[in-house]
A and B are shown apart, each in its own frame.
Chain A
Amino acid sequence: MNASLIRLGGLLRKEFLQILRDPSALAIAFLLPAVLLFIFGYGVTLDAHDVPLALVIDHADATTASVAGALAHSPYFRISRPPDIEAAETALTDHRIDGIIWLRSDFARRALSGRTASIGVILNGTDANSARLVEGYLQQTWATWLAAWGARRGQPSPVPVLVQSRVRFNPAVSSRDNLVPGLIAVIMTLTGALLTALVMAREWERGTLEALMVTRVTIREILIAKLVPYFVLGMGGMAASVVMAVTLFHVPFRGTIPVLVVTSALFLLASLGMGLVISSLARNQFVAGQIAIITTFLPAFILSGFIFDIDSMPAAIRVVTHVVAARYFVSILQTEFLAGDIRAVILPNAVALAVMAAIFLGVARLSARKRLD
């Protein structure tokens, strides 16, 4: 057998033995993804459910009772009835409720006379996102009520146009179906970049790399021996995450396995490349971990479109997102899971991933030397 292959075989065997014997590597590869999936799958949701609201009615009558009924039946709200607006304001200040719906004393009179009747809505804007969400739900509820109320009274709806929305790909508009695929990209960033940077830094720290370098081994063999095991580990974590997503969280998968495998491989190579670049800069695990978190994990979380919509970011930030590999992979994953093999989405993103993988691996190869300086 070729001497180079024997050397590579020795390094690979060593790497796999270390992974099997070091619980922390396996934890990052398999336990952490499971924990993150559970948190995002069960705990975190961007949908509003049972939002506590106060309904204040200055002058109760049939009309206001009808409004109250409509609100009470909505799955989005949990309605309480404080005696007056002051009590409601106190509750809002104390964060016991997220908003107030105020039907003033002239509400019924104005509504019946066909004039514009207004509903006062006061929302807690500390969390602007949920405030907007509640506002939207309220308007929808209000429009539904108006239509129903008008129909009952034999009057045409005062609202001339009714929006009939159909949500494609995620009919239930469940944020989980959207979050879980994006989360897989974040998880793969962890195994790819963080784990690789850490294990390489560990070799620097323990002085083992110093001893390896003064042997016949070449730097290319050292790099390949680091790439292969963590590629396998990353793909394993990927497969486990996909299985969990589909079986445990019932996220639909509408794409095809080969496309998923190829694009995941490209993304993982880009991540591993970044991990190796980081490890050539940081030679202790603490610094390597920090750099990896800041340059790969956090951007994958924040700038990938996983949680925050890229199109609504300021232009400058949008430009920055283009160097975040996770951005392309989140697009691909969300499409693969929710829509299917949409060539127009998959192809450009896959090309972008391939380019990033080539750049990072190239930089890693060029910056790695069989030297300490």
Chain B
Amino acid sequence: MAPTPDGPPALRLDGVTRVFRAGGRVIRAVDGVDARVERGSITGLVGPDGAGKTTLMRLVTGLLRADSGRIEVLGLDIGRDVAAIQGRIGYMPQRFGLYEDLTVRENLDLYADLQDVPKSERAARYGDLLHMTGLGPFTGRFAGRLSGGMKQKLGLACTLIRAPDLLFLDEPTVGVDPVSRRELWAIIDRLTGASGMTVLISTSYLDEAERCGTVLLMHEGKLVGADSPAAFTAPLAGRSYRIAAAGLGKRRLHERLDGAPGIIDATIQGAYVRVVTDSAGLPPLPTLLPDLDGVAADPVPPRFEDAFVARLRQERPALPAPPAAPSPDGAARDGEIIVVRDVTRLFGSFTAVDRIGFSVGRGEIFGLLGANGAGKSTTFRMLCGLLPPSGGTLTVAGYDLRHAAAAARGRIGYMAQKFSLYVDLSVMDNLRFFSSAYRLTGARRRQRIAWALEEFDLETVADAACRDLSLGYKQRLALAAALMHEPDILFLDEPTSGVDPLARRDFWRRINRLAETGVTVLVTTHFMEEAEYCDRLVIMAQGRILATGTPEDLRDRFRSAQMPDPTMEDAFIALLETAPAGTA
């Protein structure tokens, strides 16, 4: 940790609580938080969606008032000196706060005016910021025409226009491609290193926690830990392993290890299953996996996420394994169920998807990986028959989507990014609606609704209004709705973005079981980690496919002396950097 300089910390919270009332519901968005942010540090505010990060950001910037507790920013009490504080801090809200119909230069001018930057200093300041963000060539471009990564950097430049003492960044890396993420972190490192600026950055990407000097870990409004990332992971030393078994598929192996005695976490990672144990050392393999030969287990270094999962598991023990999935009843496991050939989609003169091609086998989990704007959603909409392609052929379950989109749609289930649920209806009413939308009637309809309630543990909330459900429940309900008519193919659009790691594990456990029964799963994601669950995936950028293969294949392509164990994100970035412009 950075040495603590003299004087008050950059930020101090004592017993801060903020409650929201919505309908009859009381949400303790920030619940008795005590925390300190030292001067000159990079502090990460880490937690899943709904943990209270944004509320906390708004409390410390004076945008919201705390119900109780005390907040001191740069030694000043926020209740009394909010104007003085706002003159010395910088804040970038989640949507960057840019005026999209102003140019880059006009946005900078506006914020320079608002932050009292003297006209004489502007030229030099703009030069620095434009150089740092790489926006120099684009000063005349409208902010709305910038890519997500460029908007993020412009938003940052605007908040830095008058070098603040303390910089607050609220989820700056959401939906931004990995290259831009990496560049943003480089900028933040330079800021704190050179000028001694203090940065509080919130993120739901747990891997970003490891880049921070200190991490404030939040969950459901409470601060569940505050320490350096190393201190978080230290207790987990010697408890993470990577296991592979010859002759047993990774999903079968995962099913065996998930919830096994002594194992608190099991995730699929490429060809391996990564486990975290409840105490140092792996239980002896013969007891852990009896009747299995050729099991190889290697220790791997702990990750920040392991620490979070371990803490959450103390409160929430592992869910009981879901009831056994129906047997595959001889579903054909071979043959290609989705074939995409030379598909192009134009919007006016803009090429959203550019001559892509891939095929997906029955029972496969297939991923489309890419940043926002890479063409994933357009590809998805074409596969669901919602958008006709401008060129090329798409075949889904044997139907050519040009001629038989409706027939193909009867065979697919679709779970949209924002869970297209009717939030004013109860869980039961949503299930009734979706079952009738899929034309289920009579006994079959009753049977499927009963199945959904049981399979997804929704019985206890059957009468609750959907808007009152937590993100994890909504996700389960949306998945249940998409499966009402027992589709052969399931489309998942950014399914787990923002949910906490335990909910994400629960979700993938179900998806794995579905795949085992022969359901084909197509998933889009910008979460590099989610790609690990896929059997095969394509990496997309600017409407083109850069690479196709298994997660191991893609990582292997970029294994080198400098990168002995590249992550999916490393592979992605290397791919973007090496892809010759203009070719697929």
Contacts and interface: CB of A to CB of B under 8 A. Distances in A.
Given A3-B116, A211-B91, A372 B63 contact: yes
Interface in B270-306: none
Interface string B97-132: 111111000100111111110000000000000000
B65 A14 contact: no
Contacts of A10: 109-110, 112-114
B193 interface: no
B199 to A, nearest CB: 15
Contact of A208 (B87, B94, B98, B109): B98
Contact of A215 (B58, B101, B115): B115
A210 B93 contact: yes
A21 B101 CA distance: 7
B158 to A, nearest CB: 8
Given A22-B101, A371-B65, A216 B86 contact: yes
Contacts of A211: 91-93, 96-98, 155, 158-159
B61 interface: yes
A371 to B, nearest CB: 6
B64 interface: yes
B10 interface: no
Contact of A370 (B62, B99, B115): B62
Nearest to B101: A21
Q: Which residue, of B94, B96, B116, has the highest number of chain A Cβ atoms within 10 A? A: B116
A81 to B, nearest CB: 60
Contact of B102 (A17, A212, A217): A17
A215 B63 contact: no
Interface in A207-246: 207-208, 210-218
A7 B98 contact: no
B95 interface: yes
A371 B62 contact: yes
Contact residues of A: prevailing secondary structure: helix
A207 B95 contact: yes
B226 interface: no
Contacts of A166: none
A251 B443 CA distance: 72
A215 B111 contact: yes
Contacts of B93: 207, 210-211
B97 A372 contact: no
A264 B63 CA distance: 37
Given A10-B109, A18-B101, A214 B61 contact: yes
Contacts of A216: 83, 86-87, 114-116
Given A207-B97, A211-B92, A215-B86, A9 B113 contact: yes
B234 to A, nearest CB: 36
A211 B109 CA distance: 15
B103 to A, nearest CB: 9
A185 to B, nearest CB: 31
Interface string A336-373: 00000000000000000000000000000000001111
A11 B62 contact: no
Nearest to B114: A215
B109 to A, nearest CB: 7
Nearest to B106: A17
Contacts of B116: 3, 6-7, 216
A24 to B, nearest CB: 11
Interface residues of A, number: 28
Nearest to A207: B95
Contacts of A18: 99, 101-102
A206 interface: yes
Interface residues of B, number: 37
Q: Which residue, of A22, A212, A213, A214, has the highest number of chain B Cβ atoms within 10 A? A: A214
B100 A6 contact: no
A4 to B, nearest CB: 9
A284 to B, nearest CB: 14
Contacts of B115: 215-216
B86 A214 contact: yes
Contacts of B65: 371, 373
A208 B155 CA distance: 11
A206 B95 contact: yes
A27 to B, nearest CB: 15
Interface string A124-157: 0000000000000000000000000000000000
B92 A14 contact: no
A25 to B, nearest CB: 10
A322 to B, nearest CB: 36
B89 interface: yes
B332 to A, nearest CB: 49
Q: Which residue, of B64, B99, B155, has the highest number of chain A Cβ atoms within 10 A? A: B99
Given A22-B101, A208-B97, A372 B86 contact: no
A218 B158 CA distance: 18
Interface string B352-382: 0000000000000000000000000000000
A307 to B, nearest CB: 37
Given A21-B101, A22-B101, A211-B91, A7 B114 contact: yes
B100 A14 contact: no
B114 A217 contact: yes
B110 A214 contact: no
A6 B122 CA distance: 14
A222 to B, nearest CB: 10
Given A3-B116, A10-B110, A215-B114, A210 B63 contact: yes
Contact of B100 (A206, A212, A218): A206
Contact of B64 (A7, A9, A208, A373): A373
Contacts of B96: 207, 211
B302 to A, nearest CB: 37
Given A214-B62, A215-B111, A215-B114, A14 B86 contact: no
B93 to A, nearest CB: 5
A31 to B, nearest CB: 19
Q: Which residue, of B65, B91, B106, B113, has the highest number of chain A Cβ atoms within 10 A? A: B113
B87 A372 contact: no
A21 B106 CA distance: 13
Contacts of B168: 214
A287 B481 CA distance: 30
Contact of A214 (B89, B95, B98, B112): B89
Q: Which residue, of B64, B65, B110, B155, has the highest number of chain A Cβ atoms within 10 A? A: B110
Contacts of B101: 17-18, 21-22
A370 B86 CA distance: 10
A65 to B, nearest CB: 71
A101 B14 CA distance: 88
Contacts of A22: 101
Contacts of B109: 10, 13
A210 B97 contact: yes
Interface string A241-268: 0000000000000000000000000000
Interface of B: 58, 61-65, 82-83, 86-87, 89-102, 106, 109-116, 155, 158-159, 168
29 contacts: A3-B116, A6-B116, A7-B113, A7-B114, A10-B112, A11-B114, A17-B102, A17-B106, A18-B101, A206-B100, A207-B93, A207-B96, A208-B97, A208-B98, A208-B99, A211-B91, A211-B97, A211-B98, A211-B158, A214-B62, A214-B63, A214-B86, A214-B91, A216-B114, A218-B83, A371-B62, A371-B64, A373-B64, A373-B65
Given A6-B116, A373-B64, 12 more contacts: A10-B109, A10-B112, A13-B110, A18-B99, A210-B63, A211-B92, A211-B93, A211-B97, A214-B86, A214-B90, A215-B86, A216-B116
Q: Which 6 A-B pairs have the closest CB atoms?
A: A211-B97, A10-B113, A207-B95, A214-B91, A215-B114, A21-B101
